[in-house]
Amino acid sequence: MRVTVSRKAHFNAAHRLYRKDWSFEQNETVFGKCNNPNYHGHNYELIVSVTGEVDKDTGYVIDMKILKDIIKNEVEDAFDHKNLNEQVPEFENLNPTAEHIAVVIYNKMKPKLSAALDLEITLYETPRNFVTYSGS
């Protein structure tokens, strides 16, 4: 039987949405106030969902302590209280939109999980704006 288990986490981070190869005016037109050269911040909420077969011996899809540690090491330690544009290497040449952040989180976490497990990342940038990515 396949079951999905999920764990919530959060991190606070600053970013600026802009493209280095565009003029300030073009960035302002596309990204508006999110193009603020002094950056702006979000209290990101993260839901990490793992789907797989329930182990007949443990009753787990994944030990939640293991999942907690992966989230801490790969996401919270890397992103929390950071300027994503300036301090997180994955965004050196990648615009840190919610979409890109979710994909980066997926790519950091997926190799840490058994290949038999499916991963889905849901990232809330605000309580009303969120993205979901599952590797496709």
**Are 74 and 45 a contacting pair, CB within 8 Å?**
no
- Is residue 34 among the annotated active site residues? yes
Q: Active site residue: 10, 40, 81, 86, which one?
A: 81
Spatial distance between the Cα atoms of 73 and 19, rounded to a whole number of angstroms: 29
Query: Parallel, antiparallel, or unpaired for β 2-15 and 82-83?
Result: parallel
- Is residue 10 among the annotated active site residues? no
- Is residue 100 among the annotated active site residues? no
Q: Active site residue: 34, 45, 76, 99, which one?
A: 34
Q: Active site residue: 15, 42, 100, 125, which one?
A: 125
- Length of the chain, in residues: 136
Which residues are annotated as catalytic?
Answer: 34, 81, 125
